[in-house]
Structure 1
């Protein structure tokens, strides 16, 4: 879910977590998590690299099996990150999903835990899609329960830490508990409300890492663009204060690397060297037609990141799979910026 990447400043805590569970090292893996919605306004899955322990990684085949069964293959890395948070891959009930069945904690064996945890997460994804709620709310709801989806839906449909905090406050009656996790220390001075874990999105997100590119300019562009993953699409938006539309995001991100693009998708198409998608490299732009009635041929643009994937201002901002029927129907091709 969006969102959801390694917080560099918290890496030391992550290593400490490993030591607590007796883990010797993290294993960096790449899992292709691609959008499987039919349009640019669907719930976007997470993407990029994820650092999890070897004990968690060994559960990947079973996670993939049940993610496929329940139709959420694009969330495999999120599920693995949840395992890292819940058990470090060490306990039998690796996803701590017994309670979602009304059972006492640690009642399930490993496969039953993964099956139930994945099914529960899939149910939350469906609920979020129906309510128009973003992916981070789904991740928090894995800890809080499905009522959090409705809570966010009634308050702007976009997850925020403030919403997670207010939900916990209401459910706990304002009761607090000391909590020494560095995330809690950083955000709340070392306490949280006595209901669930209002830092759950941060705990899961810290295991995600930004994709790395060989080209320095592309890395600068993506480092900037990824700051806004999970932000809503805003027509006419061209800066972090307003959020972004598609060409506003590309213009803003490339400007950080010293490249000035014109404002609209059509104008950006006009100033690039037109190439086929098969020739595209990370950092090229990808263009689409007829995604809405704008009076121009080119109506949408994204940043190509390799492996038939792009990063774009959908709703919310995030990754998308260019091989899906929707994008193939509207694809024009790629464009290389002339320098």
Structure 2
């Protein structure tokens, strides 16, 4: 099930065709718009709605956001460190917390009918583990899912691990894209600062998992093609956009999908330089983001082996949407 957007790349269409149509409709401004919602594949909707009410600390939106972050709803996902299935359980955790959700007599980590309710039950279990820890209970629960209850208890809240802090921010952005403090879209001045920051990084190497609010950094292992970013100092696509908008005083989540959730969909004819351009087949499968600079071009960090550069918007076939980053006055985790 797709999120609602005014322009999507349909079957058989190409990004070049879509961009050409949009340019004809609005000068040099590609047009994508409509309201953002938490998009869930139809086959998992009832499972998530039911499991998302397992305990007060868990909601269907939060559970859907967690599954988006963990696997992009891929029931066959397997991480380099051995996490398995749609909810990315480690084998030892599954052994202890996996349940037979569909009553077929088996506890199968690869079966969403088992893994999704198991994920909700595990969230409720760790929420109980960290219930006495100070701070936001939901953030503490999510942090414990990522880093373990012991780490949350040790640090008295979300631990000072960048991965865990980004994880919590990303899930919150996906689950609650229009909730929280005072929010408004980035203005033209902030957009200009972000573009200038991105331009200053042209030529910087691509690094899978690389880049943060301070600038280029070594990345992580591994990309879908097996590329290891640990030996490369640079940016991946969302690391670049995160950095650029940090310079403009706007904090973005770490992943492209979460940045889409944290952006305001652009109305037809109103795309401006500085807006973020997203690629994927649905809101939950967004895999790439760039910064629009006008005339059908963007600045992006394309893939391993390349550098930050100017790219045409039809560089990929699956142009999905354009969004304008949202500034908010919420306190950081």
TM-score range, shorter chain: 0.3 to 0.5
Larger RCO (CA under 8 A, 6+ residues apart)? 2
Q: TM-score, normalised by structure 1?
A: 0.33
- Judging by fraction of residues, say which structure has more strand: 1
Q: TM-score, normalised by structure 2?
A: 0.34
